[in-house]
Amino acid sequence: MRGNFDRDERGPEGWAERRLPPEGSHASGRGYGPAGPAGGLTPRPRPNPGGPPEGGWRDSDLDRLCGPAAVTAAFAVRPDAVLRLFYTETRKREAGPVCAIMAKNRRPYREVSPEEMIRIAGTEHHGGICAIAVPREVPELGAGPFPQALLGAPVLPLLDGIGNPHNLGAIARSAAFFGCTGLLLSGDPRQAGLSDAAFRTAEGGLEHLTLMKLANPAIALRALAPKFTTVAAVAAGGMAPSELPRTKPFVLVLGNEERGLPGLTIAACAHRVTLPGSGHVQSLNVSVAAAVLIHAMGMPAGG
């Protein structure tokens, strides 16, 4: 099925066929209102939660998923959310199965030139395929029954002020790889939200995680204490991962790239953890530290 992608034409879902802004522009954030340069977690009000808002989706609200891994994961987890699909000639064979899903759902898809793909994706790093999807909702933890999916793995990461969307995506990728089932995002205005860059860097990992946001991490951590052992990742002064008690699943709290975790967040945690290193460099990139800690804390005692 082919469509005219340059016209402002509203389909049955109420979305308009218009080109999306380039990645990195103010409008390229997905589903969040302004909250500083990093893009925060203030949800934009929607008249019709769970469906298109009155008047249709704004292009700036839609998820732009680039790369084979991100697109494949989206079709595996939420195929009905994909509104449009574009691919280059080099991805024609790989796009075949997802094009069949688009045809079944009566959604537009087409092959485009490399130059047009850059305009559609807003980046040269598009991997030859791009899906435009209904924005992923990130509900607030505590607004309803506790999601049992969050208890489905030994480690539940909580990001409190991670400002770089590439770090968010990389942490999500590692979390999904090591079997985490959820990811918590704080209400810190520095905290990166879902974006083109986060989805692309996650390589499909975000699709496989239950995402929740926390208005106040310190309060939430105390509320989570009966179900989890809460652990703050700190650059120095914490215990080694192997020394942590393994009586309950962990909430692993990771802080801002430059300033680390707020004092109130650290105080709300039962333990602090530090990766022992050679001392030649001060610390690891937060996404690398997250991967090492998730793996180490997910190992059984003595493993």
Q: Is 83 exposed, middle or buried (0-12, 13-18, 19+ CB in 10 A)?
A: buried
Q: What contacts 144, CB < 8 A, 6 or more positions away?
A: none
pLDDT tens digits for range 126-137: 999 999 999 999
- Residues 229 and 259 grouped into a single domain: yes
Q: Is 216 exposed, middle or buried (0-12, 13-18, 19+ CB in 10 A)?
A: middle
pLDDT at 300: 79
In a domain, 8, yes or no: no
- Residues 103 and 159 grouped into a single domain: no
* Region of poorest pLDDT, from 3-12, 238-247, 270-279: 3-12
- What is the rounded average pLDDT of the residues 175-201? 96
In a domain, 2, yes or no: no
> How many separate domains does the chain show?
2
Q: Domain with 95 in it: what CATH number? A: 3.30.1330.30
β-pair partners for 41: none
- Residues 123 and 155 grouped into a single domain: no
pLDDT at 104: 97
Q: Domain with 231 in it: what CATH number? A: 3.40.1280.10
Last residue of a domain, which of 133, 168, 189? 133
pLDDT at 282: 82
- Domain of 261, in residue numbers: 148-298
In a domain, 277, yes or no: yes
155, pLDDT greater than 90 = yes
Last residue of a domain, which of 133, 165, 189? 133
In a domain, 291, yes or no: yes
207, pLDDT greater than 90 = yes
In a domain, 189, yes or no: yes
| CA 96 from centroid of its chain's CA atoms | 26
In a domain, 253, yes or no: yes
Last residue of a domain, which of 133, 158, 192? 133
Mean pLDDT of the chain: 85
- What is the rounded average pLDDT of the residues 162-180? 98
- Residues 245 and 165 grouped into a single domain: yes
Residue 59 pLDDT level (bands cut at 50, 70, 90): confident
pLDDT at 144: 74
* Region of poorest pLDDT, from 10-19, 141-150, 193-202, 270-279: 10-19
Q: If we measure between CA atoms, which residue out of 208, 210, 42, 48 comes closest to residue 134? A: 48
pLDDT tens digits for range 224-260: 999 999 999 999 999 999 999 999 999 999 999 999 9
